[in-house]
Amino acid sequence: MRLDDPARDGIALDLAQIACEAADLLRGFDCAATAHHLKGDGSPTTQADLAAERLIIDRLARRFPDVPAVAEETANAAVPGDLFFLVDPLDGTRDFLNGSPEWTVNIALVDGDRVVAGAMHAPRLGRLFVGGRSAWEVAV
C-alpha cells in the first residue's frame, strides 16, 4: 500500500465514505429501544455497535484486503503489525442510547506509532472530519 501524501488523502476519503455508510446504518436503530449489555470495563455495547463494526470491517477488507483491522467491540490484545486500521464503530454509546447527538464513527489507518489517515463522522451533528496529508471538514 502506498502511503505517500496523495495516497494518504485518497485513503482518508475512502475511510470517510465507509464512516458515512456506518453512520447511515446507525441512524436506523431506535436509540431508546436498543438493547445493550455492559463490557468488562463497565461501558455499554449494543447491537448497533456490532452491526456498524461488521459493516466497517467488511468494507475495509474489500477495499484494503492486505491491511488488518483492530476494532473496539471484537478486539483482542494483539496488535497485528505496523500497518493496521483502528476502528471505533460507535464512540459514545451511552450518548447514543440516551438520544444525544454526541456520538461518532471513527476509523484510522495506523502506520507504526502514528495515524496516517482517518475519518471521524458525527452524523447527528452533521460533521465529518477527514485527515490524510491534509485535514478538512466535509459538509454533510
9 in a labelled binding site: no
Domain range enclosing 55:
5-29+43-139
Which residues neighbour 59 within 8 Å (Cβ) at sequence distance 6 or greater? 18, 21
The mean predicted confidence, pLDDT, of the chain is 89
Q: 68 lies in a domain?
A: yes
The string of pLDDT tens digits covering residues 9-48 is 999 999 999 999 999 999 988 665 566 666 766 677 888 9
95 in a labelled binding site: no
The answer to pTM > 0.85 is yes
Number of folded domains that form the chain? 1
pLDDT at 118: 98
Q: 34 lies in a domain?
A: no
Whether 66 has a pLDDT exceeding 70, the answer reads yes
CA distances from 114 to 2, 5, 7, 15 (A): 15, 14, 16, 16
Residue 97 sits in a domain whose CATH number is 3.30.540.10
86 in a labelled binding site: no
Whether 5 has a pLDDT exceeding 90, the answer reads no
User: Of the candidates 100, 72, 29, 35, which has an alpha carbon nearest to the alpha carbon of residue 122?
Assistant: 100
60 in a labelled binding site: no
